[in-house]
Structure 1
Amino acid sequence: MDPFDRLIKAMDEWVGKQDASIEILAQIGTGSYRPKNLEFVPFLKPDQYRDAFERADFVVSHAGTGSIITALERDKPMVIMPKLASLGEQRNEHQLATANRFKPSTLIQVAYDVDELNAILDRVALSDERKVFQPQIWPPDQSLISFVRDFIRPVPG
């Protein structure tokens, strides 16, 4: 929901440098950056989001737990870039912590900055072989399972 202009701008600039046509749909939320090289919408309705997610070869996203869990549940390759409080994109560095937690996954590639994002996109999107991603073989450790359960468990009251 919150804007992530740094990611949207990076994706737009990356697409603009490609020789081949690459189909990308960006959900930009309330961001102020308007892409010039890729299709975008402010928001997708839940059914539109599910459809776009299912059709995608892989997903590029902020390091939101909901998006990551959806990708893992559906064995969908994902590239994540955390929003950073140090850049005014979040109130704290929870997305950085989330990215670090999921980095061992073989289905998720983590880009901590635009240069890493570009390098991953070059390896993944421009290759006929998506060898960067492997079938999910990483079992989450018990501390991660507890962390997610505690996060979604309703507060008694």
Structure 2
Amino acid sequence: MILVVLGTHELPFTRLLDEVDRLKQERIIKEEVIVQHGHTPYKSEQLTLKPFVSYEEMDALYEDAGLVITHAGTGSVITGLRKGKTVIAAPRLKKYGEHNDDHQLQLVEAFTAQGHILSWNDGEKLEAVIKQAKDFIPKPFQSGKQRLQEILTDFIDHA
């Protein structure tokens, strides 16, 4: 199963859904596709659409997914990485009215440079990235949270 995640941002991201829907219609994608589409209005005969889901349902969807295609929201990307999934992140772009700015480009750039994810960028073919995902082995993600807590604890203990 492929999980497509658009998150909860109020601006639509139909560009990604149009591309996934096209690939499903053309049978380039053969797996079941479940889409959490949030505020993006969309109709499809090919995709299973869910506007919003509970935390528990989203967790189960991530667990069941063989591939996660997501907007480049930090939480959505990191959730996939923590579960050891292959993640393709697609940045929402200001020029298409998908976000207020282009900060998602920076997140994609950082995570791809570190070998954690693949990305689908403007002007690229999603099918090429999906083919690349079949052999992609993501570098395990480790949060810096633990180290930050150690530094703060050490500082407080010695202040």
TM surpasses 0.5? yes
Matches within 5 A, 1:23-38: 23-38=32-47
* 2:27 is aligned with 1:18: yes
**TM-score, normalised relative to structure 2:** 0.76
Which structure exhibits the higher relative contact order, with contacts defined as CA atoms closer than 8 Å and separated by 6 or more residues?
2
* 2:89 is aligned with 1:86: no
Please list every run of 5 or more consecutive structure 2 residues that lacks an aligned counterpart in the other structure. Answer: 1-7, 149-159
Q: How many residues align?
A: 137
Aligned match of 1:62: 71
Structure with bigger gyration radius: 2
Please list every run of 5 or more consecutive structure 1 residues that lacks an aligned counterpart in the other structure. Answer: 125-129, 150-157
1:134 to 132, 137, 147: 137
2:111 to 102, 107, 121: 102
CA RMSD, Structure 1 to Structure 2 (Å): 2.3
Residues 69 and 17 of structure 1: is their aligned pair in 2 closer, same or farther, counting only changes over 3 Å? same
**TM-score, normalised relative to structure 1:** 0.77
The structure carrying a bigger strand percent of its residues is 2
Q: Please say if residues 106 and 138 of structure 1, whose CA atoms lie closer than 8 Å, have aligned partners that are also in contact.
A: no
The percentage of counterpart residues that share the same residue type is: 28
3-state secondary structure, aligned to 2:125: helix
